Amino acid sequence: MATLAHKLRLSDYFALSFGTMVGVGWLVVMDDWLGRGGPLGAMMGFALGGILLLPVGYVYGQWVQRLPDAAGEAAYTAQVFPPIVSYLTGWMMLLAYFIVCPWEAVAVGKLAAYIFPSLNSFELYRVAGQPVFLPRLLLGIALTLFLALLNYRGIRLSASFQNWTTTAMLVLFAVLLGISAMYGAPANFHPAFHATPFISIILTLQIVPYFMTGFESAPKAAEEAHLEFPPTGFFRAIAMALFVGAGFYVLAVAAVAYVAPWQGLLGKRFVTAIAFEQALGARWPVRLILIMAMFGLFQCFNGNFVASSRLLFAYGRRRTIAPRFGEVHEKFRTPSVAVIGITVGTLAGVLLGDALLVPVTEVGSMASALGWLAACVSFWLVEKRISMRVVTGLGILVSLLLFLMKVLPVIPGHFSPAEWIALAIWLVLGAVLHRQPRSVGQ
């Protein structure tokens, strides 16, 4: 059986995990973060979320050492649960990664139109009342095809692109923090919380699964590790991504709230850019922020493209879906058919525009927590050492609470009817594509 290329090192796995996690949320929904918790409440919510997810990250680090399989959660749960449970767990995680791809392809047009308003022209049609413009549609299609070609021709090309975009984004973020420190004032932080401290932190903590999803993407590319890469390096990459990712969100909130009075920013579009424009009285910080956002978008799109194509590839190789998806390109040693499959799905999503993607994105947030829960429970069942079972138990508790936050009607922010419908559609699609696994000889 052909194998994938062994090219990835620690920096590649960190860039993949961090890039899959951090996209453009810090720009487009900063007003929601501040509205939920206020500056200190939002900062503490993200910091606490990063700490709480460390046991889950530890479980993934242990699993990938024992089972370096691109199937990820599907492979882990297969060790202790029936095949159908394994299939559905992986299928839900596939949604969590895949749905980000069309979302980012649509978002690139939104960001570009903020700089070049002329892109909001030549309306083709509407979806749920939202217009789809030809220039923005072509931009999303072009970016999708570019990343598809990159991933089709080799993981090294994809990893280099990921490293470059991640580095550029972090450098520009450091510049942004410096500007905030120079032009901001502590008085802009007041009041520190939007409600009581406890409620402010809890409301922020509810959205952490969506914005922190991605730290566990490194194991999806475990089969592509360099031959000299130590197995313990996977947890190092995961832990680094969690710390840097949570720190990024905490500092992003701090930078915005410090540079401008945060209560005057609520309900506005692209709050991060507006805050810096108000503080400096100039337009150039907006362009800097939007350039940084573009790098974030590229790294998030590419990271989720890698993770979702590897999961689809692993399913094909396991023959739980059409085996063709498990093929490896003879020359490039990439999961070429799976890459094409994710590309086609992404292009279909781009044609729908962003209106219908919102409920599916919310389902993706729940799907991540469900996948974390399944991975932790599986490890708890196979691990016999008490100390490791205690850590795994913490991972189970955290992921269970994050999962229940989305599905229990008594908790604010739970699933709407549209989101339940989106979940049902995805599960039906999984059932249609599902095949009973057979051995290679059959």
pLDDT of residue 208: 81
Would 167 be classed as within a structural domain?
A: yes
* pLDDT for residue 356: 59
* Residue 441 domain flag: no
> In the chain, what percentage of residues exceed pLDDT 70?
95
Per-residue pLDDT band at 324 (split at 50, 70, 90):
very high
Domain of 188 in residue numbering reads as 10-433
Nearest to 311 by CA among 145, 9, 99, 24: 99
- How many Cβ atoms sit within 10 Å of the Cβ of residue 44? 21
Q: Is residue 321 in a domain?
A: yes
Range with the largest mean pLDDT of 43-52, 206-215, 269-278: 43-52
The whole-number pLDDT of residue 264 equals: 87
Average model confidence (pLDDT) across the chain: 89
CATH of the domain at 60: 1.20.1740.10
pLDDT for 134-155, tens place per residue? 999 999 999 999 999 999 999 9
- Of 303, 234, 289, nearest to 259 by C-alpha is 289
- Give the pLDDT score at 2: 66
Of the pLDDT bands very low, low, confident and very high (cuts 50, 70, 90), residue 232 is: very high
What was the pLDDT predicted at 26?
A: 87
Residue 299 lies in a domain: yes
Q: Can you tell me the distance from the alpha carbon of 415 to that of 168, in angstroms, rounded to the nearest whole number?
A: 36
Q: What percent of the chain has pLDDT over 90?
A: 55
- Please name the helix (run of DSSP H) or strand (run of DSSP E) that holds residue 280, with its range, or none: helix 271-280
Q: Is the pLDDT of residue 19 over 80?
A: yes
Residue 439 included in any domain = no
Mean pLDDT lowest among 204-208, 270-274, 354-358 = 354-358
In this model, does residue 115 exceed pLDDT 90? no
In total, how many domains does the chain have? 1
3-state secondary structure of 345: helix
Please check whether residue 1 lies inside any domain of the structure. Answer: no
Residue 17 has pLDDT above 90, yes or no: yes
Q: Report the C-alpha gap between 245 and 226 in whole angstroms.
A: 24
Instruction: Report the sign of the C-alpha dihedral through residues 229, 234, 173, 290, in that order.
Output: positive
Q: Counting Cβ atoms within 10 Å, is residue 92 exposed (0-12), middle (13-18) or buried (19+)?
A: buried
Q: Strand 123-127 relative to strand 130-133: parallel, antiparallel, unpaired?
A: antiparallel
Segment among 196-200, 281-285, 348-352 with least mean pLDDT: 281-285
Higher pLDDT, 388 or 357: 388
Q: How confident is the model at residue 360 (pLDDT cuts 50, 70, 90)?
A: low
Band (235; pLDDT cuts 50, 70, 90): very high
Q: For 408-425, how does the pLDDT look when each residue is reduced to its tens digit (9 = 90+)?
A: 877 766 777 878 888 888
**Which pLDDT does position 29 carry in this prediction?**
81
pLDDT greater at residue 350 or residue 412: 350
Question: Within a domain: residue 2?
Answer: no
Longest dimension (CA), the chain: 71
- When mean pLDDT is compared across 58-67, 110-119, 247-256, the lowest value belongs to 110-119
Task: Give CA–CA dist 73/219, Å, rounded.
Answer: 9
pLDDT at position 270 over 50: yes
Taking 60 as the threshold, does the pLDDT of residue 439 lie above it?
no
**What's the pLDDT at 403?**
87
- What integer pLDDT is reported at residue 408 of this predicted model? 81
Residue 426 lies in a domain: yes
Bridge partners of 8, per DSSP, are: 225
Average pLDDT of span 214-218: 90
% helix, strand, coil for the chain, step of 5: 75, 0, 20
Q: Which residues contact 222 (CB under 8 A, 6 or more apart)?
A: 64, 68, 69, 70, 234
pLDDT at 441: 35
User: What pLDDT shows up at residue 440?
Assistant: 39
Confidence of residue 165 (pLDDT cuts 50, 70, 90): very high
Q: Which residue has the tokens 């424009």?
A: 277
Q: Is the pLDDT of residue 213 over 90?
A: no
